[in-house]
Amino acid sequence: MELSAAQRRIAFALVVFALAGLGVYLFTSAGHGAPARQGATAPTRRNSPPPGQEASQPPAAASVAPSVSTTQAPGIYQWLPFTPAGLSSAAAVAVRFGDAYGTFSYTQNAAAYVATMRNLIVPQLSGQIAAAYSTPGVASMRTSRKQVSAGSASITSLRAFGPSSLTFVMAVTEQITATQGAQGTQGASQTTTDYAVTLTGGDTSWQVSDIELEGAGNS
């Protein structure tokens, strides 16, 4: 049936109203749904687990690379001919020897001087140290100036080692007080000399078997 002009105008108005209402509905629902869609499509961080699995499933990277704390350093002493206790014992003997070697008094003869380190050195070394202490020029100056020295030693490096020997480079410091000149005034000086000190023995039993100036290359 053909619509009259009035009926066509009414139908057109209804269509326009319906379309307008549909546009308002679509615009309103889109505004309310935007956060949900953004949350659903937001990119997640790399290696982040899905929501709800944080406690039950660690990131994939953690299951591949071991933790640093679980990595054990190799035991270096398995490649050396001495134990940690043996090295510590040898070092202690070397320092005690260095302290005694740098400590002397003009009132001591060679025998008394060597006696201060007798338990720390091999018998063959006793004669060499006594001879050096009694060198005429050195001994006469020590006596004439009334020199007294307080020695202290420190190890600076481990130069060489073998199945029954260790060689340390050691600094021996002599704090010397002495009478200076005809007036008899007191003076003080300090000298530090580097030595290569070799010990022989094993385990926790060591004795100094040689001492040379560090530059002489005792090894």
The CATH number given to whatever domain includes residue 201 is 3.10.450.540
User: Which pair of structure tokens corresponds to residue 4?
Assistant: 């009259």
Residues 5 and 111 in one domain: no
Residues 34 and 107 in one domain: no
174 is a domain residue: yes
Residues 115 and 189 in one domain: yes
Of the candidates 80, 121, 82, 95, the one whose C-alpha atom is nearest the C-alpha of residue 204 is 82
Better pLDDT: 185 or 144:
144
**Is the confidence at residue 43, as pLDDT, over 50?**
no
**Is the confidence at residue 130, as pLDDT, over 50?**
yes
Query: CA 43, CA 47: separation in Å to the nearest integer?
Result: 12
User: Which pair of structure tokens corresponds to residue 156?
Assistant: 């600076």
Query: What are the strands of the beta sheet with 165-180, ordered from one edge?
Result: 104-105, 148-162, 165-180, 185-202, 205-213
Residues 95 and 200 in one domain: yes
Residues 110 and 165 in one domain: yes
- Amino acid at position 199, single letter: L
52 is a domain residue: no
Query: CA 114, CA 133: separation in Å to the nearest integer?
Result: 9
pLDDT tens-digit series, residues 143-172? 999 999 999 999 999 999 999 999 999 999
State which residues form the domain around 9: 1-39
Better pLDDT: 163 or 199:
199
Number of domains, the chain:
2
